[in-house]
Amino acid sequence: MKGENIFKRKDGRWEARYVKNRDSSGKIIYGYCYGKTYKEAKEKVSGFKPSGNVASRSSAGQNSAKHCRFGFFCDEWLQSCRGRLKESTCERYRTAVENHIKPKLGSCLPQAITDEKISEFSSILLLEGLAPKTVKDVLIVLRLALKFAAKQLPYGLPEPEIFYPKEQKKEARVLSIDEQNRLVSYLSEDLDSCKFGVLLAMLTGLRIGELCALKWENISVRERTIRVGATMQRLRNEDVGPRTKVVVGSPKSDLSSRIIPLSDAAVGLCKLMEVKDRSAYILTGNSEFIEPRTLQYRLKRYTEDCGLEGVHFHTLRHTFATRCVEVGFEIKSLSEILGHSTTTITMERYVHSSLKLKRENMQKLTAVGM
């Protein structure tokens, strides 16, 4: 598997390589384990994998820690994240490390990664065309990796002063009432399980991963609720087989696990499409699932068919939140329905009032003579 350093030799045996130590220049010294099968080699090498704490190793390891390059500490830190963080979080960290941090800073000693060097690193990423939000995310990962490295070095590291690039606020795409009605009409015409799921998302503000993981057992028509308790993602596969895999795990945050009350329209749709098999997925009506990438492709086809442009699945969530505000929804309730930690996130990221609503609010000043 890519990234594991486990290979099949010409003699038929499997060879697993691990980082044994570093020389005075920081160059890796490898150790090797062998097995008749991939599994045997992997099990053997796991006993030699770093625990994530350089300081707890042999005296030789302690003495060489100050000579280790930053890339080494990044690998150690990523290894320490496994098991204690969500798989999706580990994958996000790994991507930032492998694609951006190690290529540019991996060969440096941690002591040499100064505030000036970090600022230069940030500028290079921006010049390469990365969005300010992406650069900020990479810098956050860099800070975490440096903090880990500081704990492993005899004298630590000074706390870096990192300036994050200013993000340009991008106006989110929200469907107008006319566009929304057009899409609802299109989806309702030849209604199937997938189109039903898209309509349900428009009526509840569900995230795409949450919808893909939703099963009929999570919906109660009698109680008129949806229980959100899982999300579906495609992540890198670290085992033998395909490069990626579909994973169903816990939602984005603790507050993302929530109960959403259903409107009359949503209850009516659920009654129409409900299947007997409670373990069936909403989007298929059976044991098969539709992953987020596939659902995004289908939504693109749906919106193109009814003449809508620039619509992504998150557009439905933006539209739901905006419609709720337009009809006078209480923000705290809306925030909880969307699964946000604060009402500030709801207001800043998802709520976009229409010009019509703004005019109506301005007209209220007439009552006080303004």
Query: Could you tell me which CATH class the domain 177-361 is placed in?
Result: mainly alpha
Q: What pLDDT is stored for residue 54 in this prediction?
A: 42
Is pLDDT of 147 > 50? yes
For 16-46, what is each residue's pLDDT tens digit?
887 766 554 555 667 788 888 888 888 777 7
In this predicted structure, the answer to whether residue 60 has a pLDDT above a threshold of 60 is no
Q: How many residues does the chain have?
A: 370
For 95-133, how does the pLDDT look when each residue is reduced to its tens digit (9 = 90+)? 999 999 999 999 999 989 999 999 999 999 999 999 999
The answer to whether 62 and 55 have CB atoms below 8 angstroms apart is yes
**Amino acid, res. 285:** G
- What is the rounded CA–CA span in Å between residue 110 and residue 106? 9
- What are φ and ψ of residue 248, in 5° steps? -105, 120
Domain pair 50-168 / 177-361, same fold? no
Residue 27 contacts by C-beta under 8 Å, 6 or more apart in sequence? none
Q: What pLDDT sits at residue 225?
A: 95
What 8-state DSSP symbol labels residue 298?
A: H
In sequence order, what are the residues at sequence separation of 6 or more whose Cβ sits closer than 8 angstroms to the Cβ of residue 144?
Answer: 77, 93
CATH H-level superfamily of 50-168:
Tyrosine recombinase, N-terminal domain (1.10.150.130)
Distance CA 303, CA 290 (A): 18
- Domain ranges (residues) in the chain: 1-17+28-46, 50-168, 177-361
Alpha carbon distance 305, 307 (integer Å) = 6
pLDDT in tens, 266-280: 999 999 999 999 999
User: 248 has which bridge partners?
Assistant: 232
Reported pTM: 0.68
Calpha distance 204→219 (Å, rounded): 12
CA distance 76 to 60: 17
pLDDT tens digit string along 291-346? 999 999 999 999 999 999 999 999 999 999 888 888 888 888 888 999 887 888 78
Single-letter code of the amino acid located at 239: D
The pLDDT value given to residue 26: 53
Amino acid in position 177: I
